[in-house]
Structure 1
Amino acid sequence: MKTTKKVVLILAAVFVSLSAGCSPSATTQQEVKTQAEQPAPSPSQQLALMHWAPANHKAIQALIDDYGIRSKSYNKDKRPYAVFDWDNTSAFNDVQETLLTYQLTNLHFKMTPDQFVSAIKINIPKDNFKQEFNNKAGKPVRIDLISEDLGADYKYLYKNYKGFKGTKSLEEIKATPQYQDFVAKTRYLYEAIGGTFSPDVSYPWVIYLFAGMTEKEVRELARASIDYNLQDAIGEKTLASPGGLPGKAGVVEVKIKTGLRAFAEQQNLYKTFIDNGFDVYVCSASFVDVVKEFASNPKYGYSLPEERVLAMELERDAAGVIQPEYRKGYDQTQGKGKTKTIERFLVSKYGYGPIFVAGDSDGDTAMLTDFKDMKLGLIVNRLKGGDIGELSKTAASGIGTGNAKYLLQGRDDNTGAFRNTEKSVSLGASEEKLLK
């Protein structure tokens, strides 16, 4: 009887307390939630270690813990967001460059000969290319000389290849000197323009070769190229124009990188950010339709929504056919143009800058340094000099401090994979290095 009476009194007290608006739930339940009873994070909310440098893994996980959905301060209406470069940051090697080689090798073009010659000359100065791009005879090359050669090659291909107007199969065409000259000289031209002139001239040049295609056609071409290059060996090879067809520019040769790989660590980081309430974006200097195919097609493991891809843009006609003209009113997504693009489309939307930025080259240093809201910057270590080299030195000086703003992540250029250290190994080498 005494026990029953005590229970009744306790229940009555609780009822009075609730009636008086003195429920402890607003304070006590929150305390409990943020202490022992808080559920453990799911595997998708924890960044997998994989081949991250351990200090980098720890720093990124701390960022996720401090600003993600498990943080007390998380506000779903003010979501943090991350911005990644694509080529050599999110994936190994350059999707645009490997696509150019694939496009040339398989003659995927939708232009007439006159349109092709016009496209390859757009905004290219008539000066000689740098001395390092002299032909095999040691003579300088310039756009008017090599465009004449390429125009003649393309006319032959256009007339004879069955993919254009002719009857010859691709295998038959590949045996001709005109095909060999076309592939080698166009690929050489890309390197010569990029190595001689400013990025605002060289970066758009390669994407003008999509003129005449629709987005669907570019996406299909990109998919075929990505599939091929993910299986191709990582390395270098030399393309040389045939000695029997020197033309106006003479015989030229060019070294190109081969192979393409997805970075499993970046695939996982994309997903981990998203599972922790971050928004993820790509800002790339490759063509927008090409990056969308790699970043958004689930088969490649990134599964980023297409609308989260910011990249190089071209004009399109009313039917959606791509024109050899940069899209009016849009900044090129390289250098300061990346910052301007992020400000235009993301800062204007969120009201603040990205909390995390990842890049690998001079073209990424602006977005890695321009945003005061950025808490952490990741540099995929390509052992480069220039502006990114200076920023890499800053990152290197922070190793072991536990509070570095910039992180260096090592990779092996021989395997196309991350290494569990800040140090990288160059293609053809075995020695690991921290800086150039």
Structure 2
Amino acid sequence: MFMKIKRRLAAAAAALAVAGTGLATTAQAAGTEQPPHRTPAKCPALTVSQGWYADNKARLQGLLDTYGRCGDSYDKRHKPLAVFDWDNTVIKNDVGDATMFWMLRNGKIRTPERGDWRTTSRYLTAPAAKALARACPATGRTLPTRTNTACADEIAAVYGEGATTTGKAAFAGFDHRRMEPQYAWLAQLLRGWSPARVKDFAAAARAENLAAPVGAEQRVGTGKVTGWARYYDQQRDLIRTLKKAGFDVYVVSASPEPVAEVWAKGVGLDARHTIGIRNVTRDGRLTARLKGCGSVKDGADSMITYIDGKRCAINERILGVRGKAAEKVQPAAKRQVFAAGDSDTDVSFLRDATGLRLVLNRNKAELMCRAYDDRDRRWLINPMFIEPKGKQSAPYPCATTGYTERDGAQGPVRRSDGTVIEDQRDTVYGGSTAP
């Protein structure tokens, strides 16, 4: 008991130390001279400087030195936890998209069971099911998307836009804080393939996208879509240094888990440290049903690694919390010290981080409202490392429509105490300079 209390007190002191680095930023802005942070020579240090905004790199180094093996509270039996989103956080562009586009170009999507598109997603609307059935002949084991552009176009529209090619809503009836049926649909369209075959598809897509020049497009059906991807050097360096410093580093992605595993190896993370959307399997092959989390049973298809579902996955699969408790915020001493993300899909697990929370600015309303509000001085905002977005001209609508309710309605973004966050101006973006 004494050791547990001692560790928790040490962790609390470390959290205060890291938060203090945030307060230093305020002092610098006011003109107070601050001594530079110096990392002891024996401690793992970040090596990539280009692309980091203001003192973000120094604050990350402070976190490494405080919580890592050089810190007074470090215990290798209870390593500090760091969790990264994947798409557009560790890598530029989306590995799920890359895999879907490769499968469409190569005719690797299976014909739905009994030719019924409603078997692919319980949230697929009747108009979408009819549009897909009209466009895609159910005459073989796989769909002819390599040559049938109408079929490829319809699938691409439903997946990418959440609507048919004629503009009708493709999905309805889901919890917007736990499920994004467009993301889930990719995993569900992997039905009939083994995880090993899916990894083959992902590896082929990875090779093509990494070899393509920045900005390249590829043709899918009659349209053009993104055809390239790049690992962020800064994030690869950060993950490598966190591991050297003794952190337990994980990726939690809203892409299918076999796909995420293929890409995560590129930053030194194995399958055990890669979490994504998981399918229920039968006879060694993926089905169109999804594994649950917390109180959600396998096959219910109502929660994936998306917003609150990412929190559940971390709590269940990393922290070992079972049942409905996995859906709740855990005690601070158990939670991740560091988290990184780029989208509203990451907001719950970012808020759970006790040390620092790194946000790449993609102009996502709820996430940016919380990051700019920064009441506890633990949020770091950085422009995207490749093709950063420019300044959003209008303030983020935090006080009115920045938050998406479970039923999809829009409302104000609230702090943990229930108070409403004021609208926030965009100040950290591509081309912006530190204050």
Question: TM-score interval w.r.t. the shorter chain?
Answer: 0.5 to 0.7
Correspondence 1:7-406 to 2 at 5 A: 40-41=41-42, 44-111=44-111, 114=114, 117-120=117-120, 122-126=122-126, 142-152=127-137, 155=139, 158=140, 176=147, 179-193=148-162, 197=171, 198=176, 199-235=179-215, 256-296=225-265, 300=266, 302-317=267-282, 319-328=283-292, 329=297, 331-348=303-320, 352-369=334-351, 371=352, 374-384=354-364, 386-394=365-373, 404-406=377-379
Paired residue secondary structure (2:381): strand
Cα separation, 2, equivalents of 1:383 and 1:89: 13
The answer to whether the Cα contact below 8 Å between 2:124 and 2:170 also exists between their aligned partners in 1 is no
Q: Deviations over 1:338-364 (max 9, x none)?
A: 111111122337960000011111110
The answer to whether the Cα contact below 8 Å between 2:85 and 2:346 also exists between their aligned partners in 1 is yes
Cα separation, 2, equivalents of 1:46 and 1:257: 31
Partner of 1:133: none
Deviation at 1:41, TM superposition (A): 2.1
TM-score normalised to structure 1 length = 0.67
Q: Which amino acid aligns with 1:388?
A: L
Identity across the alignment (%): 23
Q: More deviation in 110-119 or 328-337?
A: 110-119
Q: 1:413 to 1:263 in 2, by over 3 A?
A: closer
Unaligned runs of 5+ in 1: 1-37, 127-141, 243-253, 417-421, 426-431
Q: Which amino acid aligns with 1:390?
A: C
Partner of 2:413: none
Deviation at 1:102, TM superposition (A): 1.0
Q: 1:424 to 1:106 in 2, by over 3 A?
A: farther
Cα separation, 2, equivalents of 1:241 and 1:277: 47
Partner of 1:130: none
Q: Which amino acid aligns with 1:191?
A: G
Deviation at 1:96, TM superposition (A): 0.1
Q: Deviations over 1:110-150 (max 9, x none)?
A: 44674573544542133xxxxxxxxxxxxxxx313312223
Cα separation, 2, equivalents of 1:307 and 1:238: 32
Whose radius of gyration is greater, 1 or 2? 1
Paired residue secondary structure (2:162): helix
Q: 1:240 to 1:344 in 2, by over 3 A?
A: closer
Unaligned runs of 5+ in 2: 1-38, 164-168, 322-330, 390-426
Paired residue secondary structure (2:320): helix
Deviation at 1:411, TM superposition (A): 2.0
Cα separation, 2, equivalents of 1:415 and 1:393: 17
The answer to whether the Cα contact below 8 Å between 1:234 and 1:414 also exists between their aligned partners in 2 is no
Q: 1:115 to 1:50 in 2, by over 3 A?
A: farther
Partner of 2:416: none
The answer to whether the Cα contact below 8 Å between 2:159 and 2:183 also exists between their aligned partners in 1 is no
Q: 1:112 to 1:265 in 2, by over 3 A?
A: same
Q: Which amino acid aligns with 1:40?
A: A
Q: 1:321 to 1:71 in 2, by over 3 A?
A: same
Q: Deviations over 1:146-186 (max 9, x none)?
A: 1222332x53xx39xxxx69xxxx9xx95x5xx11122221
The answer to whether the Cα contact below 8 Å between 1:234 and 1:257 also exists between their aligned partners in 2 is no
Deviation at 1:216, TM superposition (A): 0.7
Deviation at 1:295, TM superposition (A): 0.3
The answer to whether the Cα contact below 8 Å between 2:360 and 2:382 also exists between their aligned partners in 1 is yes
The answer to whether the Cα contact below 8 Å between 1:411 and 1:423 also exists between their aligned partners in 2 is no
Q: 1:239 to 1:392 in 2, by over 3 A?
A: farther
Cα separation, 2, equivalents of 1:255 and 1:387: 30
Cα separation, 1, equivalents of 2:153 and 2:215: 17
Q: Which amino acid aligns with 1:210?
A: L
Partner of 1:411: 384
Q: More deviation in 194-203 or 91-100?
A: 194-203
Cα separation, 1, equivalents of 2:308 and 2:112: 35
Paired residue secondary structure (2:136): helix
Paired residue secondary structure (2:189): helix
TM-score normalised to structure 2 length = 0.68
Q: 1:433 to 1:106 in 2, by over 3 A?
A: farther
- Highest RCO, 1 vs 2 (Cα 8 Å, sep ≥ 6): 1
Deviation at 1:257, TM superposition (A): 3.0
The answer to whether the Cα contact below 8 Å between 2:117 and 2:129 also exists between their aligned partners in 1 is no
Cα separation, 2, equivalents of 1:404 and 1:345: 29
- After superposition, the CA RMSD in angstroms is 3.2
Deviation at 1:78, TM superposition (A): 2.1
